[in-house]
Chains A and B, each alone.
Chain A
Amino acid sequence: MTDRIALRELEDHAGFRRRHLGLTDADRGKMLAALGLAGPAELVEQAIPASIRTAEPLALAGPRTEAETIAALRRLADRNQVFTSLIGCGYTDTITPPVILRNVLENPAWYTAYTPYQPEISQGRLEALLNYQTMITDLTAFDLANASLLDEGTAAAEAMTLCRRASKAASPVFFVDRDCHPATLAVVRTRAEPIGIEVRVG
């Protein structure tokens, strides 16, 4: 058999590339021709200034197949130990209802959408976010809540600067209760100092 392919090639370690990239070699040929370019090298030479271009290959491991990558992740996961954490500090274990886990967190219809700048085609998540805002305003007994911030620390820092803008007091002091979560205090301190807010803890 003269056309026998080596095992290394049959294993196809770079196979994921075909899944991630939408174009086939034939497509690339057509597109380059439409642009009047001889090949990908010419595209790179013309598009990217020589002063910054690098020909050196990236010093990375891989590629690995999807199965190999899952196995590698499995090995990493096995080095984490799931203890019962009663540490608190703003983080508690929780039961994600499986219907929500599978149909929201693991559902590309929810996770591959973009920010709802085009509202006509985003009514589903806008409704879910309106529910979120309602939940927050109701539980906190406030008029208005936003569609979420990055974490509790960031929310506290944003609250601090909001108070600075809204307060009529001249004092630059933001007082923080010593029983607040340490991580929240750390973010508040980071954000206060450059803009001249003095954080006092007591």
Chain B
Amino acid sequence: MRDLTPVVDAAHAHGALAVVAADLLALTVLKAPGELGADVAVGTSQRFGVPLGFGGPHAGYLAVHDAHKRMMPGRLVGASVDAAGRPALRLALQTREQHIRREKATSNICTAQVLLAVMAAMYAAYHGPEGLRRIAQRVHRLTSILADGLRTAGYGLVHEAFFDTITVRCPGRAEELAAAARARRINLRVVDADSLGITLDETTTVAVVRAVWDAFGVPADLDVHELDRTSRDALPDELLRTSRYLQHACFQSYHSETEMLRYLRRLADKDYALDRGMIPLGSCTMKLNATTEMEAVTWPEFARIHPFAPAEQTEGYAELIGGLEAALCAITGYDAVSLQPNAGSQGELAGLLAIRGYHRSRGDAGRDVCLIPSSAHGTNAASAVMAGMKVVVVACDAGGNVDLADLAAKAEAHAADLAAVMVTYPSTHGVFEEGIVELCDIVHRHGGQVYVDGANLNALVGLAKPGAFGADVSHLNLHKTFCIPHGGGGPGVGPVAVRSHLAAFLPGSEAVPAISAAPFGSAGILPISWAYITLMGGDGLRAATIDAVLAANYVAARLDAAFPVLYRGADGLVAHECILDLRPLSAATGVSVDDVAKRLMDYGFHAPTMSFPVAGTLMVEPTESESLAELDRFCDAMLAIRAEIDRDASLLHRAPHTAEDLLVGEWDRTYTREEAAYPLPGQRHNKYWPPVGRIDGAYGDRHLVCTCPPLEELAEG
């Protein structure tokens, strides 16, 4: 640990920016990176109550100053107001994101680690600033005592200033001492042959300190509490934190378990999740996340394993990971899988880097053109640019299919520098395109590789295999097809699957050292997908795919007359999702997709995907997990909304309706309160109330506020 100010100043003097990676617990006692002049701060919030899980999932963080706010990657929550002027939150500055900026995007990050970020924030709310500081002080005290004990036995430290980590000099003995610690069920970090790293944490006990001493041959009569009286902090005075932190109400109000329990309940009650009803989001595959699948995630034997624990301690993980990789190969027809990418976007990048590595290994470094159809998800283009490729857009025909003539022409024109084509199958239009095999042939003939985005794999499992019909590489989304829950916006797992000629270029290879920090990415949630595949078996997975396709076609058939289905396959059927075209209706009535989406909330539904991949449309993916009753309830709601558009469109324009809207003040609208809140008969005994009305996103972007209001402001209010 050292004062970084001189380094930061030197960087600034040369026109460079400074990034500081900082440990959040340490920052409760040490000066903050912002106070040292840094331009960006990064790190992980894992140690704020998120289990190790053999490497993940955990929430990484990134902080910037106002000057760089529009350049910041990832999701950003900001305050705004709703239609009645009430404070309300929503995602801010979305125009920065890759799904809008496509190949001009600077990051392909789509998701966050919401569930884990929520846990970390709640950990801070539960302990509060004083509690966090006490944890930090205890960890530091134990580290100082550990260091003093080692010194008494003649060991020196590489750094004399430290927080929770010491590097012990032990010339020629690192392996031997690490083995001695392992004999006491303790893992240390072998830095090199002559030094060992030891990092303590809030679970460290006096007994653990003694056991480490014992491994190093420190006399057994050394008294921890004796040393506690004489040991001195190893935090340099000039780096001690003097500024206050976490003074907001949310970090002051929930220190008792009763208050925390009720806060968590209160927040959860505001939200709509799969435990309330169907979430028919196209391209998101919101299927059941069965309880049995979730069970093992929090078992200590999976949750409390360090990603760099010795292999002999992680044989269970190795077998589970090997089994899952083999199953994914069997399902997709590929030869090798890497589970390291911890989101679909990262799997995409890993797949494209594998293609890049392959071309370069053959002396084809000039192959850097990536063909991408205009219907592709924006992330595809962003990933291609990050992999050092140039994007060439291929047109779609009137039926929404990739225009094979245009593809052939562009592949021909780029025969010398074609690296790859990136397509989604079935397409983002929700259609099984007939031309996919020919598409693969054309690209291969011109020296390119075929990347099939596995976002829609839920329509293929057991019926077709991308690795067998011509693709070279795919990423899969275990959080879609294989039942890992979405967590409110993360975690995800985005394995990359390849045919054998690309296997040498997967993450962990020389060409692609690491796509995620941990060797197996978010390993801690892999038991979910393993369990799903085991529970279903091959026939069950195939049956699920057929049901998913059946459900989508049933919804398409029921809604087509009211909201025309935009694209269909050759036989008039859709794949596992369907796009409802609202554009003619919008032009005629002024009702937007937003209006329909918000009105669905009054009916107790989450909206389908809006305006992707075609602006002015809704994309519905019911999945195999919904009952016919729920599918019908959704279709009934959509048809009732269609009738409302003709009867009184203000029902939609003013949706969603909160309880306050209906109860407080005069009622002066053209429809009744009953029509607003109970449009379907069943809702009287099962009503979800949106907690706020329609949110004004633009207002929030003009007045950007992305932190909790300070206490003083609340006091004034």
The answer to whether A16 and B540 have CB atoms under 8 Å apart is yes
The answer to whether B627 and A27 have CB atoms under 8 Å apart is yes
The answer to whether A14 and B537 have CB atoms under 8 Å apart is yes
The answer to whether B47 and A94 have CB atoms under 8 Å apart is yes
Q: Kindly list chain A residues whose C-beta atoms are within 8 Å of the C-beta of B115.
A: 104-105, 110-111
- A82-B691 contact, Cβ under 8 Å, with A77-B299, A130-B706, A146-B75: no
- B495 interface contact, C-beta 8 A: no
Q: Kindly list chain A residues whose C-beta atoms are within 8 Å of the C-beta of B312.
A: 81
- CA separation between A96 and B127, bound complex, in Å? 11
The answer to whether A22 and B630 have CB atoms under 8 Å apart is yes
Chain B, residues 612-651, CB within 8 Å of chain A (1/0): the string is 0000000000001111101100000000000000000000
Q: Kindly list chain A residues whose C-beta atoms are within 8 Å of the C-beta of B437.
A: 51-52
The answer to whether B117 and A147 have CB atoms under 8 Å apart is yes
- A146-B61 contact, Cβ under 8 Å, with A129-B118, A135-B121, A169-B15: yes
The answer to whether A194 and B387 have CB atoms under 8 Å apart is yes
A 163-202 contacts with B by CB, 8 A? 163, 165-169, 171, 175, 180-181, 183-184, 186-187, 189-191, 193-196
A 126-169 contacts with B by CB, 8 A? 126-156, 158-163, 165-169
Contact of B65 among A23, A57, A142, A146 (CB under 8 A): A142
Q: Kindly list chain A residues whose C-beta atoms are within 8 Å of the C-beta of B557.
A: 34-35
In the complex, residue of chain B having the shortest beta-carbon distance to the beta carbon of A130: B77
- CA separation between A46 and B550, bound complex, in Å? 11
Contact of B111 among A115, A118, A127 (CB under 8 A): A115
- B601 interface contact, C-beta 8 A: yes
The answer to whether A109 and B21 have CB atoms under 8 Å apart is no
The answer to whether B185 and A62 have CB atoms under 8 Å apart is no
Contact of A90 among B517, B540, B571 (CB under 8 A): B517
Q: Kindly list chain B residues whose C-beta atoms are within 8 Å of the C-beta of A171.
A: 16
The answer to whether A22 and B625 have CB atoms under 8 Å apart is yes
- CA separation between A154 and B612, bound complex, in Å? 27
Q: Kindly list chain B residues whose C-beta atoms are within 8 Å of the C-beta of A186.
A: 513-514, 517
The answer to whether A144 and B516 have CB atoms under 8 Å apart is no
The answer to whether A165 and B59 have CB atoms under 8 Å apart is no
- B46 interface contact, C-beta 8 A: yes
- A6 interface contact, C-beta 8 A: no
Q: Kindly list chain A residues whose C-beta atoms are within 8 Å of the C-beta of B518.
A: 91, 151, 183
The answer to whether A115 and B488 have CB atoms under 8 Å apart is yes
Give chain A nearest CB distance to B187 CB in angstroms: 4
A 71-116 contacts with B by CB, 8 A? 72-97, 99-101, 103-116
The answer to whether A87 and B260 have CB atoms under 8 Å apart is no
- B667 interface contact, C-beta 8 A: no
- B161 interface contact, C-beta 8 A: no
Q: Kindly list chain A residues whose C-beta atoms are within 8 Å of the C-beta of B118.
A: 104, 110, 125, 128-129, 132
Q: Kindly list chain B residues whose C-beta atoms are within 8 Å of the C-beta of A9.
A: none
Q: Give how many B residues have a beta carbon under 8 Å from the other chain's beta carbons.
A: 242
The answer to whether A148 and B260 have CB atoms under 8 Å apart is no
- CA separation between A160 and B549, bound complex, in Å? 43
Contact of A148 among B74, B273, B462, B464 (CB under 8 A): B74
The answer to whether A118 and B606 have CB atoms under 8 Å apart is yes
Contact of B575 among A47, A165, A166, A183 (CB under 8 A): A47
Q: How many A-B residue pairs have CB under 8 A?
A: 719
Q: Kindly list chain B residues whose C-beta atoms are within 8 Å of the C-beta of A130.
A: 77, 79, 89, 706-708
The answer to whether A144 and B63 have CB atoms under 8 Å apart is yes
Contact of A118 among B73, B250, B607 (CB under 8 A): B607
- A150-B488 contact, Cβ under 8 Å, with A54-B468, A57-B539, A120-B88: no
Q: Kindly list chain A residues whose C-beta atoms are within 8 Å of the C-beta of B580.
A: none
The answer to whether A35 and B187 have CB atoms under 8 Å apart is no
Contact of A78 among B22, B297, B316, B527 (CB under 8 A): B316
Among B211, B387, B518, chain A packs the most CB atoms within 10 A around the CB of: B518
- CA separation between A163 and B65, bound complex, in Å? 12
The answer to whether B432 and A49 have CB atoms under 8 Å apart is yes
Q: Kindly list chain B residues whose C-beta atoms are within 8 Å of the C-beta of A88.
A: 164-165, 189, 197-199
- A17-B74 contact, Cβ under 8 Å, with A123-B89, A144-B69: no
The answer to whether B627 and A22 have CB atoms under 8 Å apart is yes
Q: Kindly list chain A residues whose C-beta atoms are within 8 Å of the C-beta of B49.
A: 94-97, 100
Chain B, residues 43-79, CB within 8 Å of chain A (1/0): the string is 1111111111001111111111111110111111101
Q: Kindly list chain B residues whose C-beta atoms are within 8 Å of the C-beta of A61.
A: 534, 537
Chain B, residues 554-585, CB within 8 Å of chain A (1/0): the string is 10011000000000011111110000000000
Q: Kindly list chain A residues whose C-beta atoms are within 8 Å of the C-beta of B61.
A: 136, 140, 145-146, 148-149, 155
Q: Kindly list chain A residues whose C-beta atoms are within 8 Å of the C-beta of B34.
A: 140-142
- B659 interface contact, C-beta 8 A: no
- CA separation between A19 and B293, bound complex, in Å? 12
- B490 interface contact, C-beta 8 A: yes
In the complex, residue of chain B having the shortest beta-carbon distance to the beta carbon of A160: B19
- CA separation between A94 and B202, bound complex, in Å? 6
The answer to whether B331 and A111 have CB atoms under 8 Å apart is no
- CA separation between A96 and B202, bound complex, in Å? 11
Q: Kindly list chain A residues whose C-beta atoms are within 8 Å of the C-beta of B449.
A: none
Q: Kindly list chain B residues whose C-beta atoms are within 8 Å of the C-beta of A83.
A: 182, 185-187, 309, 313
- CA separation between A183 and B199, bound complex, in Å? 16
The answer to whether A151 and B624 have CB atoms under 8 Å apart is no
The answer to whether A126 and B75 have CB atoms under 8 Å apart is no
Q: Kindly list chain B residues whose C-beta atoms are within 8 Å of the C-beta of A129.
A: 75, 77, 112, 114, 117-118, 121
- B671 interface contact, C-beta 8 A: no
The answer to whether A140 and B60 have CB atoms under 8 Å apart is no
- A87-B316 contact, Cβ under 8 Å, with A69-B534, A120-B693: no
Contact of B386 among A119, A166, A195 (CB under 8 A): A195
Q: Kindly list chain A residues whose C-beta atoms are within 8 Å of the C-beta of B434.
A: 49, 51
- A59 interface contact, C-beta 8 A: yes
- CA separation between A65 and B520, bound complex, in Å? 27
Q: Kindly list chain B residues whose C-beta atoms are within 8 Å of the C-beta of A126.
A: 77, 89-91
- A20-B544 contact, Cβ under 8 Å, with A90-B517, A162-B68, A187-B517: yes
Chain B, residues 316-337, CB within 8 Å of chain A (1/0): the string is 1101100000010011000000
Q: Kindly list chain A residues whose C-beta atoms are within 8 Å of the C-beta of B51.
A: 94, 96
The answer to whether A146 and B189 have CB atoms under 8 Å apart is no
- CA separation between A157 and B711, bound complex, in Å? 35
- B109 interface contact, C-beta 8 A: yes
- CA separation between A135 and B118, bound complex, in Å? 11
Stretch of B24-32, B216-224, B227-235 that contacts chain A: B24-32
- CA separation between A106 and B292, bound complex, in Å? 12
The answer to whether B546 and A43 have CB atoms under 8 Å apart is yes
Give chain B nearest CB distance to A133 CB in angstroms: 5
Contact of B272 among A13, A113, A139 (CB under 8 A): A113
The answer to whether A147 and B625 have CB atoms under 8 Å apart is no
- CA separation between A43 and B571, bound complex, in Å? 10
Give chain B nearest CB distance to A192 CB in angstroms: 11
- B113 interface contact, C-beta 8 A: yes
- B436 interface contact, C-beta 8 A: yes
Stretch of B261-269, B404-412, B674-682 that contacts chain A: B261-269
Q: Kindly list chain B residues whose C-beta atoms are within 8 Å of the C-beta of A189.
A: 513-514
Give chain B nearest CB distance to A63 CB in angstroms: 3
- A58 interface contact, C-beta 8 A: yes
The answer to whether A119 and B517 have CB atoms under 8 Å apart is no
- CA separation between A101 and B74, bound complex, in Å? 26
A 1-34 contacts with B by CB, 8 A? 13-14, 16-17, 19-24, 27-28, 30-32, 34
The 10 A-B residue pairs with the shortest CB-CB distance, nearest first, are A88-B199, A141-B34, A58-B538, A63-B537, A194-B388, A153-B517, A79-B316, A119-B90, A62-B537, A124-B267
- Contacts beyond the supplied A103-B268, A124-B269, A156-B42: 18 A-B pairs with Cβ under 8 Å: A27-B628, A30-B628, A34-B557, A49-B433, A57-B539, A60-B537, A73-B296, A86-B188, A93-B201, A113-B271, A115-B111, A119-B695, A122-B488, A142-B33, A146-B76, A152-B21, A187-B513, A195-B385
**Interfacial residues, chain A to chain B (CB-CB below 8 A):** 13-14, 16-17, 19-24, 27-28, 30-32, 34-35, 40, 43-44, 46-49, 51-54, 57-66, 69-70, 72-97, 99-101, 103-156, 158-163, 165-169, 171, 175, 180-181, 183-184, 186-187, 189-191, 193-196
